[in-house]
């Protein structure tokens, strides 16, 4: 009897623990190897709907593999005349743009994953990168190229490869509405045998009175020097990430600490102690519970204890023919929560879908029953689900003659009109819950040749914008962004579709419309823990000046600042020698959050500083104008 009572007590304790833990990472890596999830827009849409249905709240899609980007990159096109991975399903389509739309529509954050990191290729003697930049190669103490487990490496301490990787990551942050970026066991990392390339050797000599580095690559001081240099790079990378916005996430998924330091010089303990990461996901890839529990406990003691808030467990769900058993999975996730980790990330997505979604269903029913916010969001929701109005909803007000047409739309069929005489139109009304900037989308179902150009009008609080869309354009299938509007809380008509462009014998098509919070332009909007309740924009607790966005910029950039109490405020721009260039604000302001668009069209390329002066403080930031 006592045994039965004890078992029941334990079960209730575990159940209580799970029910109370509403702040955790529930994530999956999305790969282009052994997976087709990213290969088509249809697959992406289905995957994001599925992941949302089982409680996943963040995805890490691969964007850099085999030394190529999977998104269309101007940087890669300029360097290697290859804007995207050749011969792949990513040619002639922007999978990342589609993924962000479908994930954010479902309230899922997107943090692109730069899988290859400082590896240039796999068993290709450096591939296209080292063919063009041989000086970037990572060398061992015999002068040979470092090839680790089949992966060819460039030197992580050479400023060329460092700037290259940073530029790719910033390109993604600047061009997509993603929520952060992620490195892994190759970023930042260096195989311990490396460091004998000319750039690294010269750097070492500069700091050691001309002495060459030890020939023994396992020399303790030599290992620490290289590991510290990787840490310094990570610090600079964090600065670049946070320059895009203080809420932009930097995540790394390193090897477990002891092995990672000894083999790859990844000092993840120091990274966490220095506060360089918003999220760290050690790869605890084991096939049995005893090995997993040992790896979890060891890595927790090495890294997690220094900041439990950022520690997420990397769990192996699938590799080759192996798919994790739900009994083992339950043991692992129970151990995670008992230890105090902040959730888990699964490698990789397909493992959740194997055997008729067995693992995904198990997660939904046993561990992910209730919604969870992400730990690095401090109990708030950063990406809420989008608001969608279908063309048949009561808030889609129609005039003129519209008829149903049996073509698949966002939900159900679509409607169309050939009415050119009357003012056929649809006005899409939304219940706007909080004042913010919103991206406006329509669901396009192109079908040439009977469709026609359509005129959409977007309504902000203070003005309107007209957009003409060719509804016969077959490349515009699915959700397509029309523009961005600012709307205050309340019932608002944000979009109108009319027949002013309709020609006789043609049809105008209508389907759903969507409002999605634009986080880059509304970083201060605070949402409640359920993702639906609204918290007003918080009153600032201090005067603050955010990093401008974008940065670098040309020719305009947005500067955001906060004032904690009513008083005189000045916002002034200076050049590098301290000469005043422009006074952007010079007046009394009430407490609140503000934004200013600075146009530098008449200024020369260069570094500039901008300062916020209040009665309480002075804060200065820097920005780079590049023309």
Range of the domain at 363: 2-117+158-190+223-377
Mean of pLDDT values over 71-77: 98
Check residue 545 and give its pLDDT. 87
* Whether residue 57 is found in the same domain as residue 179: yes
Check residue 275 and give its pLDDT. 95
Check residue 530 and give its pLDDT. 55
Binned at pLDDT 50, 70 and 90, residue 592 comes out as: confident
* Whether residue 581 is found in the same domain as residue 460: no
Those residues with Cβ within 8 angstroms of residue 397's Cβ, 6 or more apart along the chain or in another chain: 426, 427, 429, 493
Lowest mean pLDDT among 179-188, 200-209, 301-310, 440-449: 440-449
Check residue 197 and give its pLDDT. 98
How many other C-beta atoms can be found within 10 angstroms of the C-beta atom of residue 527?
21
Percent of the chain with pLDDT over 90: 77
**Residue that is written with structure tokens 């910033």 in the block:** 170
Residue 151, domain member (yes or no)? no
What is the C-alpha to C-alpha distance for residues 375 and 55, in angstroms, rounded to an integer?
15
483 forms bridges with which residues in the sheet? 440
311 forms bridges with which residues in the sheet? 280
Lowest mean pLDDT among 7-21, 284-298, 374-388, 472-486: 7-21
Looking at 377, 397, 416, the residue that finishes a domain is 377
What is the C-alpha to C-alpha distance for residues 77 and 85, in angstroms, rounded to an integer?
11
Check residue 543 and give its pLDDT. 80
Q: Find out whether 439 and 518 touch, Cβ atoms under 8 Å.
A: yes
Residue 123, domain member (yes or no)? no
What is the C-alpha to C-alpha distance for residues 250 and 241, in angstroms, rounded to an integer?
7
* Whether residue 354 is found in the same domain as residue 465: no
Mean pLDDT of the chain: 91
Angle at 38 between CA 36 and CA 43, to 5 degrees: 75
* Whether residue 268 is found in the same domain as residue 360: yes
* Whether residue 453 is found in the same domain as residue 558: no
Residue 143, domain member (yes or no)? no
pLDDT at 310 over 90: yes
Mean of pLDDT values over 333-337: 97
What is the C-alpha to C-alpha distance for residues 103 and 101, in angstroms, rounded to an integer?
6
* Whether residue 358 is found in the same domain as residue 418: no
**Residue that is written with structure tokens 């804007």 in the block:** 83
* Whether residue 489 is found in the same domain as residue 556: no
φ, ψ dihedrals at 393, nearest 5°: -70, 155
CA distances 452 to 363, 447, 498, Å, are 46, 9, 12
- Alpha carbon 315 to chain centroid, angstroms: 20
pLDDT at 617 over 90: no
Residue 202, domain member (yes or no)? no
Check residue 550 and give its pLDDT. 76
Taking alpha carbons only, the member of 254, 320, 335, 255 closest to residue 288 is 335
pLDDT in tens, 565-589: 888 999 999 988 889 999 999 998 8
Residue 312, domain member (yes or no)? yes
Check residue 21 and give its pLDDT. 43
For 590-622, letters b (16+ CB in 10 Å) and e give eeebbeeebebeebeeeebebebbbeeeebebe
* Whether residue 354 is found in the same domain as residue 430: no
Q: Find out whether 514 and 438 touch, Cβ atoms under 8 Å.
A: no
Check residue 8 and give its pLDDT. 38
* Whether residue 397 is found in the same domain as residue 311: no
pLDDT in tens, 206-215: 999 999 999 9
Reported pTM: 0.83
Binned at pLDDT 50, 70 and 90, residue 540 comes out as: low
**% helix, strand, coil for the chain, step of 5:** 30, 30, 40
pLDDT at 284 over 70: yes
Q: From the DSSP assignment, how many helices (H) and strands (E) are in the chain?
A: 13, 36
* Whether residue 460 is found in the same domain as residue 590: no
Residue 297, domain member (yes or no)? yes
Angle at 299 between CA 294 and CA 303, to 5 degrees: 160
Those residues with Cβ within 8 angstroms of residue 559's Cβ, 6 or more apart along the chain or in another chain: 545, 546, 548, 571, 584, 595, 596, 597, 598, 610
Collapsing DSSP to helix, strand or coil, 313 comes out as: strand
What DSSP designation does 518 have?
A: -
Check residue 529 and give its pLDDT. 63
Check residue 13 and give its pLDDT. 40
* Whether residue 236 is found in the same domain as residue 292: yes
Binned at pLDDT 50, 70 and 90, residue 594 comes out as: confident
pLDDT in tens, 4-27: 333 334 333 433 333 344 899 999
Q: Find out whether 337 and 21 touch, Cβ atoms under 8 Å.
A: yes
Percent of the chain with pLDDT over 70: 94
Mean of pLDDT values over 409-431: 91
pLDDT in tens, 80-108: 999 999 999 999 999 999 999 999 999 99
Looking at 355, 377, 399, the residue that finishes a domain is 377
* Whether residue 284 is found in the same domain as residue 243: yes
Q: Find out whether 568 and 562 touch, Cβ atoms under 8 Å.
A: no
Looking at 377, 402, 421, the residue that finishes a domain is 377
Domains in the chain, number: 3
Binned at pLDDT 50, 70 and 90, residue 379 comes out as: confident
594: left (phi over 0), alpha (psi -120 to 50) or beta: beta
What is the C-alpha to C-alpha distance for residues 348 and 34, in angstroms, rounded to an integer?
10
Check residue 17 and give its pLDDT. 39
Q: In this structure, what CATH number is given to the domain that contains residue 609?
A: 2.60.40.1930
φ, ψ dihedrals at 419, nearest 5°: -75, 110
Q: In this structure, what CATH number is given to the domain that contains residue 277?
A: 3.20.20.80
pLDDT in tens, 218-231: 999 999 999 999 99
Mean of pLDDT values over 183-199: 97
Check residue 541 and give its pLDDT. 61
Residue 453, domain member (yes or no)? yes
What is the C-alpha to C-alpha distance for residues 137 and 133, in angstroms, rounded to an integer?
8
Residue 479, domain member (yes or no)? yes
Mean of pLDDT values over 429-455: 89
What is the C-alpha to C-alpha distance for residues 182 and 167, in angstroms, rounded to an integer?
14
Mean of pLDDT values over 120-130: 97
Mean of pLDDT values over 492-504: 94
């Amino acid at each position: 009897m006592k045994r039965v009572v004890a078992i029941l007590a334990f079960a209730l304790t575990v159940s209580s623990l799970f029910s109370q833990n509403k702040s955790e990472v529930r994530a999956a890596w999305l790969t282009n190897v052994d997976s087709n999830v990213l290969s088509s827009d249809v697959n992406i849409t289905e995957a994001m709907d599925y992941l949302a249905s089982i409680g996943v709240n963040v995805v890490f899609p691969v964007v850099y593999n085999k030394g190529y980007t999977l998104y269309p990159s101007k940087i890669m096109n300029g360097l290697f005349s290859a804007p995207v991975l050749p011969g792949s399903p990513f040619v002639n389509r922007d999978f990342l743009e589609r993924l962000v739309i479908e994930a954010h529509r479902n309230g899922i954050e997107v943090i692109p994953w730069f899988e290859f990191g400082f590896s240039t290729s796999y068993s290709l003697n450096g591939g296209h990168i080292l063919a063009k930049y041989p000086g970037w190669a990572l060398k061992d103490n015999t002068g040979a190229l470092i090839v680790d487990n089949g992966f060819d490496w460039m030197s992580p301490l050479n400023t060329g490869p460092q700037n290259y990787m940073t530029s790719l990551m910033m390109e993604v942050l600047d061009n997509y509405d993603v929520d952060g970026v992620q490195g892994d066991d190759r970023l930042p990392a260096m195989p311990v045998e490396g460091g004998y390339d000319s750039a690294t050797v010269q750097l070492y000599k500069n700091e050691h009175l001309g002495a060459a580095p030890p020939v023994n690559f396992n020399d303790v001081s030599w290992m620490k020097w290289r590991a510290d240099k990787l840490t310094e790079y990570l610090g600079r990378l964090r600065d670049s990430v946070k320059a895009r916005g203080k809420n932009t996430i930097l995540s790394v998924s390193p090897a477990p600490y002891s092995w990672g330091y000894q083999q790859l010089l990844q000092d993840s303990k120091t990274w966490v102690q220095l506060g360089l990461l918003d999220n760290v996901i050690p790869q605890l890839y084991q096939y049995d519970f005893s090995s997993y529990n040992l790896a979890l406990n060891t890595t927790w003691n090495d890294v997690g204890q220094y900041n439990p808030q950022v520690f997420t467990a990397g769990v192996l769900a699938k590799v080759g023919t192996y798919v994790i058993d739900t009994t083992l999975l339950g043991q692992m996730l129970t151990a995670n929560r008992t230890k105090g980790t902040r959730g888990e990330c699964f490698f990789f997505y397909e493992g959740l879908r194997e055997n008729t979604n067995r693992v995904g269903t198990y997660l939904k029913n046993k561990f992910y029953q209730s919604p969870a916010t992400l730990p690095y969001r401090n109990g708030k929701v950063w990406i809420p689900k989008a608001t969608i109005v279908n063309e048949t909803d009561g808030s889609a007000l129609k005039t003129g003659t519209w008829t149903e047409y049996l073509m698949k739309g966002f939900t159900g069929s679509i409607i169309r009109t050939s009415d050119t005489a009357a003012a056929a139109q649809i006005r899409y009304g939304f219940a706007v819950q909080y004042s913010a900037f919103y991206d406006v989308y329509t669901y396009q179902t192109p079908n040439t040749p009977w469709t026609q150009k359509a005129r959409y009008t977007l309504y902000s609080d203070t003005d309107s914008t007209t957009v003409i869309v060719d509804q016969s354009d077959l490349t515009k299938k699915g959700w397509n962004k029309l523009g961005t509007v600012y709307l205050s809380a309340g019932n608002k008509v944000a979009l109108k579709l009319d027949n002013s462009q309709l020609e006789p014998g043609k049809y105008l098509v209508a389907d759903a419309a969507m409002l999605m919070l634009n986080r880059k332009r509304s970083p201060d909007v605070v949402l409640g823990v359920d993702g639906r309740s609204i918290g007003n924009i918080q009153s600032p607790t201090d005067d603050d000046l955010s990093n401008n966005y974008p940065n670098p910029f040309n020719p305009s950039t947005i500067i955001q600042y906060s004032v904690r109490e009513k008083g005189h405020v000045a916002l002034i721009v200076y050049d590098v020698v301290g000469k005043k260039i422009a006074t952007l604000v010079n007046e009394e302001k009430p407490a609140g959050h503000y934004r200013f668009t600075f146009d530098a069209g008449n200024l020369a390329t260069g570094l500039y500083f901008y300062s916020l002066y209040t009665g309480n403080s002075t804060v200065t930031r820097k920005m780079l104008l590049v023309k």
